Structure 1
Amino acid sequence: MACDISIIIINYNTANYTIDCIASILKHTPSDLDCEFIIVDNASETKNYFLLKNYIDSISNKINIKLIRSQINTGFGAGNMIGAQQATGNYLAFINNDVIFENDCLSALKEFMDNHENAGVCGPQAFKEDHSILPTIDHFASPLRELFGRNILEFLNQKTYPERKKLYAKPQRGQFVAGSFMFFRTTDFDQVGGFDTNIFLYYEETDICKRLAKNKKSAWLVPSGRFIHFHGASTPKSIALKIELKISLLYLTRKHYGMISYWIIRFYLQLKYFFSSLVKPKHWPLFFALIKGAPLSMSLKHKQKIQRIS
């Protein structure tokens, strides 16, 4: 039997964040909103997995919640697809585990989507820990954005590229919403095939929102919902992740913009990181990855090991 909303959260060695996230959702979501929680553990270490499992077991008699264990780290998109395949909700809420609700986000998003058939995805307003703004809407990753930057695009055409770092009083359309909190109508999500599981990390939002746009479904910020995002808590910075970022960018460019754009961006990045590496030697691995074309075969996706529960 379908519920209103399926809440899908990925855990990867950050059980305490996941526990706090679930608790904040329960605190701010009214009981008459029929929700199910699907928590996907993406091959966390045994101790972290059981910390989360024990918490979920302790609340499972009070709410509709299930824990699914993947024995390999499938990344963001594929991890969420594991959850999506188990979902029964009319809506799908993909929420990062390093998110804390400040108010009843889910009711605000559901009400908006109920009344806007052409909206394909929406998200609430995000804030950093210090309550400074984090952009919820953003501009598609594209050759123009990569070459000229967001600020120039916003200056030249605010209709197509609305301001990201602005507090809006009313819902605002953007090109995509941040992956930390994405709220879809299940039928729309299914129609475009969900997340592209070739992408291990990064740019999943641009990819799926471009596919939604082809179906005339738009992306929206719903500012009446508010949440805190502990930005980067689940993916601390490293050269390996910077390489992953460029792998995903080049894959996305080739997929959506064609080979000419791919070669332009590839050459631009090679030049950029050659000179950057002269100043910051830690960037040399990134430069050499770009020389090879940063193909999907170099992705962290292909370096994961099976993590069986011991």
Structure 2
Amino acid sequence: MITISVVSHGQSALVEELLKDLARLDMPMIAEVLITLNIPEEILFEPDDFPYPVSVLRNTAPRGFGANHNAAFRQAKGEWFCVLNPDIRLVENPFPVLLEEITRLSAAVIAPMVITPNGGVEDSVRRFPTPFSLVIKFLGCGDGRYIFAAEDVTFRADWVGGMFMLFRAGDFRAIAGFDEKYFLYYEDVDICARLWKSGRSVLACPKVRVIHDAQRASRRSLRYMRWHMVSMLRYLWKHW
């Protein structure tokens, strides 16, 4: 059974659409959905309207990405823990295939193929960043993404994006979840690096797809850009 964790930053309308997707696709493997409201907001849905338990958690002060999902995990009941962004849309039930593949290949976390609303493949599966690779990326000569197509076989990847990550709860617990010293960005890279260092593995599964309407706030806001840069430097200092 799966616990799904979603964090809203004034995104109640997006959360409602995600909940509707989960209900529409008939997912009996969902044990519960935990919605964390990171800032004060009125929810636009009734938790009892869905065919699975929905709990709404309200923060008294904003927390970072990792801290929010770690707090939700401490309440989670499922054998599996799924981190989902509010702006994920589901076109099919991804969980049967993801559960089959992560079990078959004995990994700690798995992610589906993530596509944009217009059908392009997002850069959500990449090789670990290094100082050299970041210079190459800055020069526009490559960003370290893996190249794959829909229906390709499941493969082991360095890291997968935090918009959709399905963990074995036991493995998430064993490495103490996300590093809460990252406020935003690089939490997903860091947790995958720690999983690999602990002898566990990370999977990408192009056999199933989800849609992600990415906001890319760090490209438009100086505050988000600063968070991005601080997290990148923290990651490099920690792992390199």
TM-score by length of 1: 0.72
Out of 69, 72, 76, the residue aligned to residue 65 of structure 2 is 76
- Identity between Structure 1 and Structure 2 (%): 23
1:18 matches 2:15 = yes
Aligned to 2:42: 50
Matches within 5 A, 1:151-190: 163-164=146-147, 166-167=149-150, 169-190=152-173
Comparing 161-170 with 84-93, which one deviates more in the overlay?
161-170
What secondary structure, in the 3-state scheme, does the structure 2 residue paired with 1:71 have? coil
Distance 2:37 2:145 in 1: 36
Out of 85, 91, 103, the residue aligned to residue 74 of structure 2 is 85
What secondary structure, in the 3-state scheme, does the structure 2 residue paired with 1:226 have? strand
What secondary structure, in the 3-state scheme, does the structure 2 residue paired with 1:131 have? coil
Amino acid at match of 1:225: V
CA contact (8 A) 1:41 1:68 kept: yes
Q: Deviation of residue 135 (structure 1)?
A: 2.8
Out of 26, 33, 36, the residue aligned to residue 37 of structure 1 is 33
Aligned to 1:109: 98
Distance 1:114 1:69 in 2: 34
Aligned to 1:195: 178
What secondary structure, in the 3-state scheme, does the structure 2 residue paired with 1:251 have? helix
Aligned to 1:279: none
Unaligned 5+ segments in structure 2 are none
Matches within 5 A, 1:196-275: 196-232=179-215, 237-257=220-240
Distance 1:34 1:164 in 2: 31
Q: Deviation of residue 79 (structure 1)?
A: 1.0
* Number of residues of Structure 1 aligned to a counterpart in Structure 2: 239
Q: Say if 1:235 and 1:22 are closer, same or farther in 2 by CA, change over 3 A.
A: farther
Amino acid at match of 1:123: A
Amino acid at match of 2:132: L
Amino acid at match of 1:8: S
Distance 1:58 1:70 in 2: 21
CA contact (8 A) 2:31 2:77 kept: no
Q: Deviations over 1:4-36 (max 9, x none)?
A: 1000000111111111111112222433x2421
Higher helix proportion: 1
TM-score by length of 2: 0.91
CA contact (8 A) 1:78 1:197 kept: yes
Unaligned 5+ segments in structure 1 are 155-160, 258-310
Distance 1:138 1:95 in 2: 18
Q: Say if 1:230 and 1:153 are closer, same or farther in 2 by CA, change over 3 A.
A: closer
Q: Deviation of residue 58 (structure 1)?
A: 4.1
Distance 2:99 2:74 in 1: 20
Q: Deviation of residue 143 (structure 1)?
A: 1.5
Out of 134, 141, 156, the residue aligned to residue 146 of structure 1 is 134
CA contact (8 A) 1:11 1:18 kept: yes
RMSD of aligned residue pairs (Cα, Å): 2.2
Q: Deviation of residue 220 (structure 1)?
A: 1.2
Out of 120, 140, 144, the residue aligned to residue 132 of structure 1 is 120
